[in-house]
A and B are shown apart, each in its own frame.
Chain A
Amino acid sequence: MSSPSRVDLLLDLADDELILGWRNSEWTGIAPFLEEDVAFSSIAQNEIGHARALYELAARELGTDADAVAFDRPVAEYRSAPLVELRRLEWARTIARHWLYETADAVRLEVLKASDDAELAGIAAKIDREEVYHRIHAEMWIDRLLGSDEGRPRLDAALDELWPYALGVLDDELRPELVTRVEAKLGRSLPDVDPVPRGKHETELADLLEEMTSVRRSAPAGARW
């Protein structure tokens, strides 16, 4: 019998990946370049794949299936961080979110990879093998925007705006590591602000879930799709 906190931990990650997976695929067909369209779509597929693997583990403990965990809970039970819930952002903010999330996720995955729970450590390692490429992609864009007269102010404003949300991805004890990594890369300090914590949902999440489950809810529970 596992403690409920293990399920909560799985759902923190899974909900983040599912919701961000969708937010990233909002660029499908309309990214600034076809190459970026393909890249964000790959990243979205990885994230939804990670979510599925995590939901499967959670579902086993909850005695249900991954789709039911992913789609059939009330909004209030979603554990995603508000950072991933924000509706499709314009490009500078998309890149800021992408990089802040991937950096925070790396901090979190390093801890999980060292977990005594072999199953959790294993899935974290598997996820991290793909996240490496997301981080490379995000950093490439950070460098590109920082190196551009037009991109830099846009990115800086986006980072400052999203910073409280980024802090909210992690628990208290992991936040200092995120601050260190982000400030080292940017070569500047970020505003000293209160995090927007996990569980405090943006209204975007309710709208998102309403639409996300609209087809699924149109047939009685248990229908195959």
Chain B
Amino acid sequence: METMDARTEDRTESFLAHVQSGGLVETGDWMPDEYRKRLTKFIEMHANSELMGVLPERDWILRAPTLQRKLALTAKIQDEVGHAQLLYRVVEDLGKPREVCLDDLIAGKSKFHNVFHYPTRTWGDVGVIAWLVDAAAIISQKALLKCSYAPYARIMRKICWEESFHILHGRDVILTLVTGTDAQRELVQEALDRWWAPLMMFHGNPIPAEDDPMVRWRIKSQPNEEARQQFLEGYVPQVWELGLTLPDPKLRRGDDGVWAYTEPDWNELMAVVSGHGPASQERLAFRRLSRTEVDWVARTVLAEAA
């Protein structure tokens, strides 16, 4: 046993040196249990987020006010389901079957991103989600192009490509509204006021890179605060340029280029992602119900496949 442990330790050390020096890992390669566990959990959360992200937007396909918007929104949501499908496949290759992931999701055993725990109230939300939530997401996803796990990094290329179109769609919805009637403009401002706090929490609390095991294994290469700063630098000036305001009096860019802001309530973030957000339970209940409704279809198809 002792020799086994010593051998595993050696392998783990050389694996760590490999990933830290930019080396890549493929599905069939040996990997330490901790790496596999963290990687699986991370990608599963990403997949869950793509899938749960469909729910806040799906009702707006019906309410989309023009044929063009209806088509664009349907296509965007379809992309997200497609991303979930690709990501669950990566998770499956790491050893956790898709059906188990979906069971864990509806049982509340696994997580999904904080922004998908909030309700969508108006057409303004549709624009803010497509523009700013997707903008925040693409910053994290671009950083994941450098992930040590190569199959995940490869999928991220396709995902980033598609997300960049979502941002354009979102920006176009927003621009049309802010140049429209006063009431249309107010839709955007009101949505922005509600979404700002969740957006500021999106990249997570500022863990120093050296304390973050995800960075150590080079699953992630970008510290949370760096992602948030990139988001603020890229989008706050654009929001202000449209004559919109953001509900944070402390928000300003320092002379050193670092953005100052009011510290988000990290306890709220923890509560939200562990299923206590304003729409968490309703969304999970909806997914549970719809899964029960179609249970017989899965049985039929799986019986056929057996």
Contact = CB atoms under 8 A, between A and B. Distances in A.
Interface of A: 22, 25, 28-35, 37-38, 41-42, 44-45, 48-49, 51-52, 55, 66-67, 70-71, 90-91, 144-145, 147-148, 150-151, 154, 208, 211-216, 218-220, 223-225
Specify the main secondary structure of chain B where it touches its partner. Answer: helix
A178 to B, nearest CB: 26
B56 to A, nearest CB: 10
Interface string B75-95: 101100110110010000000
Given A32-B294, A45-B75, A224 B176 contact: yes
Interface of B: 51, 54-55, 58, 61-71, 74-75, 77-78, 81-82, 84-85, 88, 98, 123, 176-177, 179-181, 183-184, 286-287, 290-291, 293-294, 296-301, 303-304
B81 A28 contact: yes
A40 to B, nearest CB: 9
A214 B85 contact: no
Contact of B81 (A37, A151, A154): A37
A41 B71 CA distance: 10
Contact of A48 (B67, B85, B298): B67
A218 B180 CA distance: 12
Contacts of B81: 28-29, 34, 37-38, 41
Contacts of B298: 32-33
Contacts, number: 128
Given A22-B61, A28-B58, A218-B183, 14 more contacts: A25-B61, A25-B62, A29-B58, A30-B290, A32-B298, A33-B301, A41-B78, A48-B67, A55-B67, A67-B66, A144-B304, A151-B300, A216-B66, A219-B181
B77 to A, nearest CB: 6
Given A30-B290, A34-B84, A225 B69 contact: yes
Contacts of A30: 286-287, 290-291, 294
Contacts of A33: 297-298, 301
